[in-house]
Structure 1
Amino acid sequence: MPKGKNQKFKLYRLAQIMLENTDEEHYITMPEIKEKLEEYEVTADRKSIYNDLKDLEKLGIEVEGEPVGNRYHYHVVERPFELPELKLLVDAIQSSKFITQKKTNTLIKKLEKLVSKYDAQKLQRQVYVSGRIKAMNESIYYTVDAIHNAISENRKIKFQYYQWNVKKEMELRHDGAWYHISPWGLSWDDENYYLVGYDSEAELIKHYRVDKMLHIRMSTEAREGKEHFKQLDMADYAKKSFGMFGGKEKTVKLLVDNRLAGVIIDRFGKDIMLIPADESHFTVNVDVHVSKQFLGWVFSLGEQVKILSPEEVVEQMQGEVKRLVEQYGE
């Protein structure tokens, strides 16, 4: 029998048809396969298609045929990602504040191509779970990539940093001055992405919101601050920084109501030592960067948490209480 038309595209189109139209619950028959190939202007006989279905396995696409009545029904039996795994990825992308809505939609569309058109509809339903606030800096996707490249090349980076003004306009900080930073890692905290790096001019470890970085460039200068990061645990650094706001690192002793044990463990981890103080309370020593955000976190827990030491942190809290009374008092 003579060969059909467009044979060089046949295996590619067959893979496309099987991946798009079949899954564990949806099958396709041989006449339907031939019909769909013809839609791509590819013609083939049954025997060659049987052989091609076997060849797909070499490409990592396992196809199974099951007899149903007087016909075989074919479907793809295994894929790189299971549907529940892709749903998790979709939800993570959708809930990530630092990924813009436009980039979110693009990424989810790409994930949909990893499943059949039937399962893709289930992923599409996930997109509309909630209307979360998303970043507005479209370049963040590439900023993250540029930071990783600079780290792997052991180079400093230059960038400008912005903030929003009351007119809802992007306003460059420090009159558009360029920041020269040695990047050492990225940290995720409070739904935001942060660059953690070393500022050699200030001789300090600093962090910056990645979605507020603009015009990032890789410098020809080698990174500095290696000695500061040798002992730095990135996860520990983020845990100590409330909302990634800076402040002097202190060991703070807290008196906590037993009912908040879970809150303390969720924030500081299971390795933290809870020392009984009385029948209703325990004390705990936590290493934190003392900032207004930390004091605000303690304040939000009300009478169930009290700072015991050091004295200077107690005085900072007293100062905040006094300020609040003056601000909201009559």
Structure 2
Amino acid sequence: MAKRSGQKLKLLYLMKILLEQTDEDHGLTIAQLAQKLEEWGVSAERKSLYDDLETLQVYGLDVISPQGRGSYGVGSRLFEVAELKLLVDAVQSSRFITAKKSRELIGKVESLASVYQAQTLQRQVYVANRIKTMNESIYYNIDALHQAIAQGKQISFRYFQWAVGEAGEDTVARRFRREGERYQVSPWALTWDDENYYLVAYDTPEQKIKHFRVDKMEGIRLEQEKRDGAEQFQKFDMAVYSRQVFGMYGGEEAQVRLRFANHLAGVVVDRFGKDVPIRRDGEDHFTVWLSVAVSPQFFSWVLGFGEEAQILEPQWVLKRLKSHLEKTLALYE
């Protein structure tokens, strides 16, 4: 590299060295900085480096002396180490991110720290036996969906589910719904629930809001038609929708009154928020009206609390619960 060209890039190289190889506990001397610049083909005089460090500090880089007078490093950064650890943990524990993509993303997160800090990130929580998605195209799906939402366009795609293989096969295989016929919907929002990404969209023929697992969508294509469902989504609240739908399984929406033991108040608040109006029912219980999507998953949530939770009304929900229980019990008779 020519000296003149290298001198023009000297400040950038110096900042790169400081960001990558120093932090609040590790610094480099002027001699070490000059040596590392030489490795990039840039010569640097001692006095000019002092001026360069001052310029970087004026620019906004937090240049400090980690090991006392004579050493230089970067103190505060855009992300604190604790924040980077949270990001790494989120990537590692997320089911919808494949193992390969997890490694790539964590590598990029590590680049935001010094080489010493990156070592602490590599020792972060590992979720044992975490099942990762096998659909590498989920990232392209998310990009295509954001593009469609931004442009206000409808999309079409094929949708599959995992099913038992053909007769004689002890495997699971992908099976396309509607025999592979493409769905066409109006995308409005993306949400992350129960460790999976979902598209919330409006189905024009059925005139209803639906959701789809993003990692089970294939061949997403932007269509020319403009989105439908604007009127429905003007009054749509994603937070309320997520609370109502258990495990993102749909069902008939209903106002249901339940009775809980007092110590389960926190469970109700965690699920439905602290503004849910509750009413005392004796010394040890309370009742509450909740708006939910009635489904087997909702019943499982309630039954998981045993005798400490009870559905009180409406009657049609109680009848459906009893039918669900009878069918389940029949399996064990």
With the length of structure 2 as denominator, give the TM-score of the two structures: 0.93
The offset of 1:60, in angstroms, is 3.7
- Counterpart-to-counterpart distance in 1, 2:325 and 2:31: 77
Instruction: Look up the match of 2:7.
Output: 7
- Counterpart-to-counterpart distance in 1, 2:67 and 2:111: 28
Whether the 8 Å contact between 1:4 and 1:43 is mirrored in structure 2 is: no
> Please, which of 194, 204, 211 is the counterpart of residue 190 of structure 1?
194
1:73 partner amino acid: S
Residues 130-209 of structure 1: pairs in structure 2 closer than 5 A: 130-166=128-164, 167-209=171-213
The offset of 1:4, in angstroms, is 7.8
Q: Is the aligned partner of 1:218 residue 2:222?
A: yes
Whether the 8 Å contact between 1:66 and 1:72 is mirrored in structure 2 is: no
> Please, which of 81, 89, 92 is the counterpart of residue 87 of structure 2?
89
Partner of 1:74: helix, strand, or coil? Answer: strand
The offset of 1:66, in angstroms, is 7.1
Whether the 8 Å contact between 2:262 and 2:284 is mirrored in structure 1 is: yes
Residues 165-314 of structure 1: pairs in structure 2 closer than 5 A: 165-166=163-164, 167-314=171-318
Whether the 8 Å contact between 2:256 and 2:313 is mirrored in structure 1 is: yes
Between the two proteins, the alignment pairs up a number of residues equal to: 325
The offset of 1:141, in angstroms, is 1.5
Whether the 8 Å contact between 2:244 and 2:292 is mirrored in structure 1 is: yes
Instruction: Look up the match of 2:104.
Output: 106
2:14 partner amino acid: L
Q: Is the aligned partner of 1:122 residue 2:120?
A: yes
The offset of 1:164, in angstroms, is 1.6
Whether the 8 Å contact between 2:26 and 2:67 is mirrored in structure 1 is: no
Deviations 1:36-94 (A, max 9, x none): 112222221112222222232355423234784xx611011221111111111111121
RMSD between superposed Cα atoms in Å: 1.7
Whether the 8 Å contact between 1:151 and 1:183 is mirrored in structure 2 is: yes
The offset of 1:96, in angstroms, is 1.6
Unpaired runs of at least 5, structure 1: none
- Counterpart-to-counterpart distance in 2, 1:4 and 1:188: 51
Partner of 1:48: helix, strand, or coil? Answer: helix
**Greater displacement, 240-249 / 7-16:** 7-16
- Counterpart-to-counterpart distance in 2, 1:145 and 1:31: 47
Whether the 8 Å contact between 1:155 and 1:220 is mirrored in structure 2 is: yes
- Counterpart-to-counterpart distance in 2, 1:268 and 1:56: 49
> Please, which of 76, 79, 97 is the counterpart of residue 77 of structure 2?
79
Distance 1:183 1:4, change over 3 A: closer
Partner of 2:78: helix, strand, or coil? Answer: coil
**Greater displacement, 240-249 / 125-134:** 125-134
Partner of 1:6: helix, strand, or coil? Answer: helix
With the length of structure 1 as denominator, give the TM-score of the two structures: 0.94
Whether the 8 Å contact between 2:64 and 2:75 is mirrored in structure 1 is: yes
Whether the 8 Å contact between 1:5 and 1:44 is mirrored in structure 2 is: no
Partner of 1:128: helix, strand, or coil? Answer: coil
- Counterpart-to-counterpart distance in 1, 2:161 and 2:40: 52
Instruction: Look up the match of 2:167.
Output: none
- Counterpart-to-counterpart distance in 1, 2:271 and 2:189: 21
Deviations 1:104-159 (A, max 9, x none): 11111111111100001111111635442111111111211211111111111111
- Counterpart-to-counterpart distance in 2, 1:127 and 1:15: 31
2:139 partner amino acid: Y
The offset of 1:239, in angstroms, is 0.4
Instruction: Look up the match of 2:19.
Output: 19
The offset of 1:12, in angstroms, is 2.1
The offset of 1:226, in angstroms, is 0.9
Partner of 1:137: helix, strand, or coil? Answer: coil
The offset of 1:279, in angstroms, is 1.6
Over the matched positions of the two proteins, sequence identity in percent amounts to 50
1:246 partner amino acid: G
Unpaired runs of at least 5, structure 2: 165-170
- Counterpart-to-counterpart distance in 2, 1:40 and 1:131: 43
Partner of 1:125: helix, strand, or coil? Answer: coil
Distance 1:318 1:129, change over 3 A: closer
Partner of 1:206: helix, strand, or coil? Answer: strand
Partner of 1:328: helix, strand, or coil? Answer: coil
Partner of 2:124: helix, strand, or coil? Answer: helix
- Counterpart-to-counterpart distance in 1, 2:66 and 2:136: 48
Whether the 8 Å contact between 1:5 and 1:43 is mirrored in structure 2 is: no
